[in-house]
Structure 1
C-alpha cells in the first residue's frame, strides 16, 4: 500500500523577496533542478517533497497557484494551544446540540436579504425572503452560505453589498483536499501513534496519501484516514 519511508515533520521555510510570483515558478523550478542534481540526496529530496505536500495540504491548493505572500498564511492561527482532537460522534452532533431549543425552518431557499427596511407594522431592520414566499424579520442577520452561491449571485442583497465585499467574493477560490477512509479487518500497520507520514520517489506522487491518521482510538475500529493534496487531489 505504501512505497514509503516514515519520517517526522521537520518543516523548513523558504524565503523569497518577490511576493507576487507563484510559489513554484520557472525560476524556482531551475533552482529545484540544480538542488536535485548537485546537492540533495534521494532521501533528502523525498523529505523536501513531503514538506511541499504538507504546504499544499495547509493551503488546499497546488503550490503553482499559491503566492509567496500567503503560502504560510495558516501560521497566523497556530497560536491556538492544545492538541488535535477528533469528535467521536462527528460535527453533526455539535450542530444538533447547539440547535436544541431553537426553531430552525427547513426547506427554505434563500433569495433576498434586505436591511435597513422600513415596512408598515414592522419594527425590525432586516427582512430575509425565500422562494416559497416566506419572510423572516430580525434586527441582525448572519449570512453563512456556500461560496458558490455568492459567486452565482443566487442571493440578492438590498441595498447591494459594498464593492470591496463583492470583489473579495469573486477573488476567493475553492480549495481541493481529498480525504480517503480505509477500514481493515485488522490493523495492518505496525505503528501505535496517531499519525504517520509517507514519502515517494516520484515527485508527481508527493501529494498521494502523504499522511495517514490512525483513528482506531476515536472510532473503535482498525481504520486510517489518508489525504490527497495538490495536483493529485485536483486530478482526482
Structure 2
C-alpha cells in the first residue's frame, strides 16, 4: 500500500496495515513526519506545539489511551479564565457569566431556527433571514427566566446577578412579560431543547446556506430591540471575546461558516471527560506510530494515475511508485486545502460529486505565537490559572491574542502561548514575525499595565497558511455545505484509491483523534 502523507491519519493507517503484515510505503512531502503536529522543543523546560497539543475529551479517546500506554503525562485544564481588559483591569466575573450566558443563548436560538424545515436557505452564522417570532420569544424568555409555553418551563439557567442586572438597567419585566405572551400567541413554540443550556463544545463548524456571523448578529439585534436591554461598552467587548473563541474553534471568521451545520458533529456522541494539555507534545505518539515503517521524506506526490491496471504515484522529482489494482492500494491523507487547490493531480480526475464536497468545506486557519520570558510576570495577577483572556477593545480587534495559555503546568518556566484567529489572521499576513511579536507585546503590556513586562528571550510565530504542503489548520463547514461532505470525501474510488484525514471524519473533524481514527478506518477497508 502506498500512503501519501505522514501525519496522524497516514501514520495510523500505516501502523495498522504494518501490524496486519502488509507492506507499506509512506511518502511525505516535508522533511519531517507529523503534518499539522509539530512540536517545538527549543524552549527551556517546556514543549510547545506549533500545531495540535490539546486532547478534547479523554474518556474512550484513543489518543488518551495511547498516552496511558506510553506513560505520557496530560494536564487537566482548570476552569478559571480571568478576562483582562486593556488598561489592566480584571473583568468582574458576573459580567463574564452574563455575557457567556447571552452568547450561548444566541447559539441555542440558532439551533432552534435550523429545526424549522421551512427554512430552506442557509445563512452565515452571523447574518440571517427574519427571526421567527416564537424563537425570539424563547430568547427573551430565557434571559428573564420566565415561563416558556404552557407546561414547558425553562430551568433556572441564570444567576441572581443577571436579575440584579435587569433591575439596574431598569428593564420593565411586566412589559417584557406582555411582549412574551403576545409573541407566543402568534407563534406556537415547539418543545424547547433546554434553550440556553450550557454547551460542552460551543465551537466546531455550523451550516447549510448561511454564515453563522449573520445569524448571531440578527438574533442579537432582535433580542436587544424586543427586550429593551442595553449592554454597556464593556459587556459588548466581552461578547466579542466569546465570538472570538467561536472563530478559534471554527478556524475561520464567522462570515464564512454555515449557520445550519457549524456544529454538525455535535449530533453524534463526542468524547467526554477532561480537556487536557499534552505536555510532552503529540510528537511522542507520532514518533511511536512511525517506528519501523518505510517513510520517504522530501517526497511530495504530484500525480496519482489510476486509469490503467496499475496505480501510478509520481513525486515531483519524477520518482514513480506502483500499486497493482485489486491487490494493492493508495491512501491519500493530504490536508483538505491541497485537494481544493489541485496540488495532487488525479487521472481520471476526481468526480464532480467528490470535488463539490471538497469545496463545500472550508480550509480553516489559525496561527500561534509562543513567548519565553526571563520570569513569570503574570503570576501575581493570574494566580495559578492555566490561561487568561484578553478582552478586545473593539470588534475589529477580535481574535487577536484572545487567550494566553501558561504552557508549564508546574508553574516553574515562563512560557505563554496565544492564538490568532478569525479576521485577525488575514491582518497579520503582511507582517513579519518581529512585527507580530511587537503587537503581541503591546497587548501584554496593556493587560499588565500596572507592572513592567520584560522582553521575551525567545519566541516563534507560526505560518501554517503559507506552508506549501499544509496551508491550513483544520476544516469547517462553509455556508451552503453540510456534514455529509466529510463522508463523501471519505468514499474510496474503484476500491483502490482511499482517503483519510480530519476532513474525512464526520464525527470527529478538526482533531488529531479524528485524523487518527480515519486512518484506522481506511486501513480496515484496505486490509
Normalised to the residue count of structure 2, the TM-score between the two structures is: 0.39
1:101 aligns with 2:292: yes
Higher helix share: 2
With 170-179 and 18-27 compared, the bigger mean Cα shift is at 18-27
Q: CA RMSD in A?
A: 3.2
- Choose the corresponding residue for 1:137, options 292, 309, 322: 322
Gaps of 5+ in 1: 119-124
Kindly provide the CA deviation profile for residues 124-182 of structure 1, in whole angstroms up to 9, marking residues without a partner as x. Answer: x5332223343323412211223343233232223332221111223333323122212
1:208 aligns with 2:414: no
Kindly provide the CA deviation profile for residues 6-64 of structure 1, in whole angstroms up to 9, marking residues without a partner as x. Answer: 75665614224356122222886576467398422344323322221111111111122
Q: Aligned in 2, Cα 1:187/1:75: closer, same or farther, shift over 3 Å?
A: farther
The DSSP-based 3-state class of the residue aligned with 1:198 is strand
1:24 aligns with 2:24: no
The DSSP-based 3-state class of the residue aligned with 1:58 is helix
Correspondence for 2:489:
none
- Choose the corresponding residue for 1:168, options 340, 357, 362: 357
1:126 aligns with 2:315: no
With 133-142 and 97-106 compared, the bigger mean Cα shift is at 133-142
Correspondence for 1:122:
none
The 8 Å contact of residues 176 and 234 in structure 1, kept in 2 or not, is answered as no
Q: Aligned in 2, Cα 1:219/1:104: closer, same or farther, shift over 3 Å?
A: farther
Question: In structure 2, how many angstroms separate the alpha carbons of the residues matched to 1:170 and 1:49?
Answer: 29
- Choose the corresponding residue for 1:146, options 321, 329, 335: 335
Q: Aligned in 2, Cα 1:117/1:30: closer, same or farther, shift over 3 Å?
A: closer
The DSSP-based 3-state class of the residue aligned with 2:416 is strand
- Choose the corresponding residue for 1:12, options 80, 86, 104: 104
Q: Aligned in 2, Cα 1:131/1:66: closer, same or farther, shift over 3 Å?
A: closer
Question: In structure 2, how many angstroms separate the alpha carbons of the residues matched to 1:150 and 1:30?
Answer: 34
Question: In structure 1, how many angstroms separate the alpha carbons of the residues matched to 2:411 and 2:318?
Answer: 44
Q: Aligned in 2, Cα 1:156/1:80: closer, same or farther, shift over 3 Å?
A: same
1:199 aligns with 2:391: yes
Gaps of 5+ in 2: 1-83, 114-118, 130-213, 429-527
Q: Which runs of 4+ in 1 moved over 6 A?
A: none
TM superposition shift of 1:68: 1.3
Q: Aligned in 2, Cα 1:150/1:90: closer, same or farther, shift over 3 Å?
A: same
Question: In structure 1, how many angstroms separate the alpha carbons of the residues matched to 2:335 and 2:353?
Answer: 19
The number of equivalent residue pairs is 230
Q: Aligned in 2, Cα 1:167/1:26: closer, same or farther, shift over 3 Å?
A: closer
Correspondence for 1:234:
426
Q: 1:64-83, aligned counterparts within 5 Å? A: 64-73=255-264, 75-76=266-267, 79-83=270-274
- Choose the corresponding residue for 1:63, options 254, 268, 275: 254
Q: Aligned in 2, Cα 1:155/1:203: closer, same or farther, shift over 3 Å?
A: closer
Kindly provide the CA deviation profile for residues 161-208 of structure 1, in whole angstroms up to 9, marking residues without a partner as x. Answer: 222111122333332312221222111223212222232342322322
Correspondence for 1:40:
231
TM superposition shift of 1:80: 0.7
